[in-house]
Amino acid sequence: MDFGVMLPIFTSVFMAELGDKTQVATVCFMAGGGCSKGEVFWASSLALLSSTFLAVVFGAAAGRLIPPSLLKIGAGVIFVIMGLIFLKQALGRRADGPGGGR
């Protein structure tokens, strides 16, 4: 294993997951109190492993069909578009919230 390759992958995925809706859902399940820490940990870990497995399989297939540079550009464009959508929604809520956006 090449830890020089693994560290940036770990860091980027870890940072992307912080505050993500997956993490928020996990916090909500734990806060609900209907299950143990172990149940929440293992169920959410298996879900994340499963979705990561699918991403690796589809990413490998996409990498054979589409040049990696185009995949990176496409992913960047999608992230920028999503960011702009979320920013627009957040600013819209702020203007509609208490005080009417004064």
- Structure confidence at residue 102 as a pLDDT band (50, 70, 90): very low
Tell me, yes or no, whether 50 and 35 share the same domain. Answer: yes
pLDDT at 34: 85
Tell whether the model's pLDDT for residue 75 goes beyond 80: yes
If asked whether residues 9 and 54 sit together in one domain, one would say yes
Q: From CA 8, how far away is CA 69, in angstroms rounded?
A: 18
Q: Quote the pLDDT of residue 49.
A: 93
Domain count, the chain: 2
Contacts of 17 (CB under 8 A, 6+ apart): 23, 48
If asked whether residues 30 and 79 sit together in one domain, one would say: no
pTM of the model: 0.60
Which tens digits make up the pLDDT trace of 37-66? 999 999 999 999 999 999 999 989 998 999
Longest pairwise C-alpha distance within the chain: 55
Domain membership of residue 80 as a residue range: 67-102
